[in-house]
Chain A
């Protein structure tokens, strides 16, 4: 069964540095998402992406964040200047294009640790 893959599994970065989290969604999916999960807390929606542009974003997704689909297969989340509170698990997800009742398929996540 096709899967969403995320790299790296764990990223350690100094505060203030830029970080790029990478995702390869399922190949025939059209909608892409990033979520985060701070340790011990619930999964929170960050942003969705469709047709090469952001469709929806939460208030968490401020100017420090950006997303890109650079080559038709990868989907990246960039944090420009990391803060301690950015430490979390970041999950990428994708879903088919048949409508919003389709389940989102999640990757195993990238654990981001900001020092």
Chain B
């Protein structure tokens, strides 16, 4: 069985400061990892993914994430936070050994609040 842990319910960051949203995962094989963002009353929007290769993945809106196999982590980062980044962020995993129709396993989400 696969699982995702997002240890922080909420992260508060001042505008202009760097931000980190933490994620650790557990899969039986090798993972595909994803970050999604959810704004109020909207669906999940894809931010970035790790498939293979470079451990630092760049995505939409200036976000990036670092895959660390030894720590089974995939933390989301941004060098300089914007107030508009305030939203609910979900980390998700699927096992590479699975088929194309496998569902994603999501973490419980982290509320990111950027203070002006």
Contacts and interface: CB of A to CB of B under 8 A. Distances in A.
Interface of A: 4, 6, 31, 33, 35, 41-50, 55-56, 58, 91, 93, 95, 97, 99-109
Contacts, number: 76
Given A41-B108, A42-B90, A56 B103 contact: yes
Nearest to B95: A100
A91 B44 contact: yes
B46 A100 contact: no
B103 A31 contact: no
B43 interface: yes
Contact of A100 (B36, B90, B98, B106): B98
Interface of B: 32, 34, 36, 41-46, 49, 51, 90, 94, 96, 98-109
Given A42-B108, A109-B43, A103 B103 contact: no
Chain A binding surface, main DSSP class? strand
A36 B87 CA distance: 19
Contacts of B90: 42-43
A103 B49 contact: yes
A6 B43 CA distance: 10
Contact of B100 (A46, A58, A93, A97): A97
A33 B18 CA distance: 34
B104 A106 contact: no
Contacts of A104: 46, 104
B107 to A, nearest CB: 6
A49 B99 CA distance: 12
User: For A33, A43, A108, which residue has the most chain B Cβ atoms within 10 angstroms?
Assistant: A43
